Amino acid sequence: DAGVIQSPRHEVTEMGQEVTLRCKPISGHNSLFWYRQTMMRGLELLIYFNNNVPIDDSGMPEDRFSAKMPNASFSTLKIQPSEPRDSAVYFCASSFERAFPPPREYFGPGTRLTVL
Amino acid sequence: QQQVKQSPQSLIVQKGGISIINCAYENTAFDYFPWYQQFPGKGPALLIAIRPDVSEKKEGRFTISFNKSAKQFSLHIMDSQPGDSATYFCAASIQGAQKLVFGQGTRLTINP
């Protein structure tokens, strides 16, 4: 059973470049989450989708960040232009909405982004 | 109100000892409290979870203790092993909400 798939696993880019991170959620899951993890700030929720619709994007740092979910099996997180402070590990997670038991988030392996 | 405060930030325990990680919350609407375990280079994975209608849940060497009146919950790892060395996150959510609120994480090291 394939878990959450993220690509690329590692990305090194220069400041000012556009970066696109990709995620394929677990088949049948209808919620998708993008997180950012840094030593200083821990695990931060950036945005989450339910049934392909963005529900809460209050964690998106600024307008340089955007996320899309064109269908149930694909999502992107784009940073344009990228800055060194965007360097972090970005995780995608998915879950299946159920009233009970509570939803369980399955995390992907993450994309380690380095902006020089 | 939406925060979950986790302590300590890092913890070193000898093999065979008990590891204890604590979390506190303010929002009384939280009704689901999972713990996630993250190994280096991997994404977090659900370890164990509890609802506030019970005070304790045990799965193998891992136990969650929950104190509803104090709005605190903790993870206890009995007979800690080097393989338990990881970062542990507590979290909380509100029934019906898809979003989890995570604590800051605790880096646990078990010395052999």
Return the minimum-mean-pLDDT range out of A2-11, A102-111, B29-38, B74-83.
A102-111
Give B-chain residues touching A94 at CB under 8 angstroms: none
Residue B7 near residue B14, CB atoms below 8 Å: no
- Would you place residue A97 in the very low, low, confident or very high pLDDT band (cuts 50, 70, 90)? confident
B67 min Cα distance to partner chain A (Å): 20
**Residue of B1, B98, B102, B107 for testing the chain A interface, max A β-carbons within 10 Å:** B98
B91 min Cα distance to partner chain A (Å): 11
The pLDDT tens digits for A49-68 are 999 999 989 899 889 999 99
8 Å CB contact of A105 and B46 = yes
The pLDDT tens digits for A67-80 are 999 999 999 999 99
Residue A102 near residue B49, CB atoms below 8 Å: yes
Average pLDDT over residues B79-104: 90
Return the minimum-mean-pLDDT range out of A92-101, A105-114, B51-60, B73-82.
A92-101
The pLDDT tens digits for B43-88 are 999 999 998 889 999 999 999 999 999 999 999 999 999 999 999 9
CA dihedral over A76, B86, B102, B59, signed as positive or negative: positive
Q: Is A102 on the interface with B (CB under 8 A)?
A: yes
The chain A residue lying nearest B92, using CA atoms, is A102
